[in-house]
A and B are shown apart, each in its own frame.
Chain A
Amino acid sequence: MLIRTRPDWWLPIGAATPEQLVANRRHVLKTMGHLTAGAAAAALLGGPAALAQAAPQCPPRFHDGIPAPRNPAYLLPDERTTAFDAATRYNNYYEFGLEKEAPAENAQALETCPWTIAVDGLVERPGVYDIDSLIDADRLEERVYRFRCVEAWSMVVPWIGVPLATVLAKLRPKPAARYVAFESHLDRRIMPGARLPVLAWPYREGLRLDEAMHPLTLLAVGMYGKPLPKQNGAPVRLVVPWKYGFKSIKAIRRITLLSRQPATSWNTAAPHEYGFYANVNPDVDHPRWSQKRERRLGEIFRRPTLPFNGYAKEVAALYSGMDLRRFF
């Protein structure tokens, strides 16, 4: 039996400083601990560098719970909220494994603080932003949304976040911008699924600009009154409730404004099965299964699927005149 003795200087890989932090160390050191009134005023009036001057705090704020008022316009009083256990132990997060139970186990290795999001493309304020400077803690609100996976299961989740429109407004998209593209975090060292050619990594998604600016589209940082669990897309994810769940990209690392429709991971992998729009539509079947009925997590028998996942009144106008079978 080989008995290994470790040298005195040995440290485990888990003790390594996150790569992002080392790459951004000068920026981080400059902005740490400088949140005076003067600096805050400068941030409101100044350019992109000043906007990014918020102290990154780790461990993240709201460790014990996020105080966020419920938005009364987005409650679902007739629907039962899905149990927290179901919403956090039945996940599709292929980077952390293909089984539904794998992300809850494997995603805990993800380091979510500090977290920066790169913004580029057709914006007036590109740059690398700390998550706290993009998302205003005072404007966080709780909204109860339906969530429908393309695999025909669904849940009702109380998300906490801000409308994506408020974040995009801060970034000032240029007039030529017509689409928003998102990119997810990729780290093959901790993501066993990302080592397989299951999808083209990193995970990419995108929205039309009017979909992104719609009041329903949420940039979420929490659920069930607490910060997002890692398997649910911590620290920040998109929630687009009228589209199939794979559009609601997790662990956002990059936001790009473009003039042309961006490539998205599932559409690239299987273009005849997963479209760019991916609006919930019981009349348009997936090639391999019907989308007419769905299973709400925690229930046994299926229920009928609603057009646009029940948000037809709010979003159908975005697609008037569009052939929803062709642009699925």
Chain B
Amino acid sequence: MTTRNGTSLNGPVRWAGAAGRAATGIGRFLRRGPQTVRGRGVWRWAMTITLLAPAGWLVWQWTRALLGLPHALGPNPPEWTHRFTGRLALELLLATLATSSLARLFGWRGLLLLRRRLGLLAALYMALHVSNYLFLDRALDWAEIAGDLTKRPYIVLGATAFVTTWPLVLTSTDSAIRRLGGRRWRRLHRLVYLVLAAAIAHSLWQMKTIEPRPVIFAVIAAGLASERFVARRRRKQRGKKGPRPSCRVS
């Protein structure tokens, strides 16, 4: 294909075709869900690697910083790391909850493939956030840490959110789901709402003045929570227990 003055459009046309095919593939992945998507392992591994990359980069930069080499963490590395990991943890937590909401609202059941991984990654970044606080910001000064836990409510909220992820992480495996059974597992994992509430309250309370990002996260969290509330009410009104996003996904 060429334009009137002879410029070839082959390149752009091929790119448009490839983009269209990719969009169709993504759409099929979203709609068909776990059972019918071929090559689903690739998607999940790609996402896992992409979301683990920031953590790996952080570990590498911190190694350089602690060895006295030039690094990319800025003049105040613990503060920067705290902002970075906290933001990512909250974003991943919201993404985890968004998978089920989007699956219910738009039928994108393929997203449920990603839910467990997103949740575990959120817990990982929470662990990095807390580790940064304990080891690098406070340098294991237990007197200061005890002072923080008794005098600063927003730190208590953050600790609550972090500790509440432990039972969820430990029971995230397939064997745990099997052992607990669907109903008990679902009930236990409602703790994620406590994690969400504590994490959002923690991020709002640490604001020095009105900052846009924590407020936006709070609004999104409220939206996700209300979506679930409405869906639960509708299920109860229908009088039966389904269809609901399956818990046996990875």
Show the binding face of A for B, using Cβ within 8 Å.
Answer: 82-83, 85-86, 89-90, 94, 98, 100-101, 151, 153, 196-199, 269-270, 285, 288-290, 292-293, 295, 297-298, 300-302
Q: What is the bound-complex CA distance between A227 and B152, given in angstroms?
A: 41
B2 at the interface (CB under 8 A from A): no
CB neighbours (8 Å) of A289 from chain B are: 148, 152
Find the B residue at minimum CB distance from A82: B75
16 residue pairs from A and B, CB less than 8 Å apart: A83-B75, A85-B75, A98-B209, A100-B74, A100-B80, A198-B209, A198-B210, A199-B209, A269-B209, A288-B152, A290-B144, A290-B147, A293-B144, A297-B76, A300-B77, A300-B78
A-contacting residues, B136-168, CB 8 Å: 136-137, 139, 144, 147-148, 151-152, 154
**Residues in B whose Cβ lies below 8 Å from that of A85:** 75
> At the interface, yes or no: B212 with Cβ under 8 Å from chain A?
yes
Decide: B66 and A300 in contact? CB cutoff 8 A.
Answer: yes
Nearest residue (CB) in A for B209 is A198
Residue contact A153 to B210, C-beta cutoff 8 Å: no
- Interface SS, B side: helix
Inter-subunit contact A153/B212 (CB<8 Å): no
Minimum C-beta distance from B213 to chain A (A): 9
Contacts of A290 in B (CB 8 A): 144, 147-148
Contact B210 A298 (CB under 8 A): no
CB A291 to nearest CB in B, in angstroms, measures: 11
Determine whether the beta carbon of A295 is less than 8 Å from that of B154. Answer: no
- Chain B interface category by residue count: 20 to 34
Nearest residue, chain B, Cβ from A83: B75
Residues of B within 8 A of A295 (CB): 76, 78-79
In the complex, chain B residues whose CB is within 8 Å of the CB of A94: 209
* Beta-carbon nearest neighbor of A197 in chain B: B210
- Tell whether B8 is near chain A: CB-to-CB under 8 Å: no
Nearest 3 pairs between A and B by C-beta?
A86-B75, A297-B75, A198-B209
Q: A198-B210, A269-B209, A300-B65 are in contact. Are A89 and B74 (CB under 8 A)?
A: yes
Whole-angstrom CA separation of A85 from B209 in the bound complex: 27
Q: What residues of B have a CB within 8 angstroms of the CB of A101 in the complex?
A: 74
Chain A proximity of B114: nearest CB distance (Å): 29
A153-B144 contact given A196-B212, A285-B151, A300-B66, CB 8 Å threshold: no
Add 10 more A-B contacts to A100-B80, A198-B211, A300-B77 (CB < 8 A): A89-B75, A90-B75, A98-B209, A153-B76, A153-B79, A196-B212, A288-B205, A289-B148, A292-B144, A295-B78
Q: Verify if B206 is at the interface (C-beta below 8 Å from A).
A: yes
User: Which B residues are in CB contact (< 8 Å) with A300?
Assistant: 65-66, 77-78, 136
Contact B75 A298 (CB under 8 A): yes
Could you tell me the distance between the alpha carbons of A298 and B212 in the complex, rounded to whole angstroms?
A: 28
Residues of B near A90 (CB, < 8 A) are 74-76
Q: Give B contacts to A, CB under 8 Å.
A: 65-66, 74-80, 136-137, 139, 144, 147-148, 151-152, 154, 205-206, 208-212
Question: What CA separation (Å) do A239 and B148 show in the bound complex?
Answer: 31
B207 to chain A, nearest CB (A): 10
In the bound complex, how far is the Cα of B78 from the Cα of A100, in angstroms?
13
Contact of A288 among B80, B154, B210 (CB under 8 A): B154
A153 cross-chain contacts in B, Cβ below 8 A: 76, 79
Residues of A within 8 A of B79 (CB): 100, 151, 153, 295
Q: Is the CB of A196 within 8 A of B210?
A: yes
Q: How far is the CA of A117 from the CA of B144 in the complex (A)?
A: 45
A225 to chain B, nearest CB (A): 20
Residues in chain A near residue B75, CB distance under 8 A: 82-83, 85-86, 89-90, 297-298
A301-B209 in contact given A83-B75, A90-B76 (Cβ < 8 Å):
no
CB-CB under 8 A from A82, the residues of chain B are: 75
Q: Which residues of A contact B74 (CB under 8 A)?
A: 86, 89-90, 100-101
Q: How far is the CB of B22 from chain A (nearest CB, A)?
A: 24
A49 to B147, CA, bound (A): 58
Within the complex, what minimum Cβ distance (angstroms) separates B17 from chain A? 21
Beta-carbon nearest neighbor of B139 in chain A: A301
A103 to B75, CA, bound (A): 15
Bound-complex Cα distance A224 to B75 (A)? 17
The distance from the CB of A186 to the nearest CB of chain B, in whole angstroms, is 16
Q: Which residues of B contact A270 (CB under 8 A)?
A: 208-209
**For residue A297, which residues in chain B have a CB less than 8 angstroms away from its CB?**
75-76
A38 to B242, CA, bound (A): 94
Residues in A whose Cβ lies below 8 Å from that of B137: 302
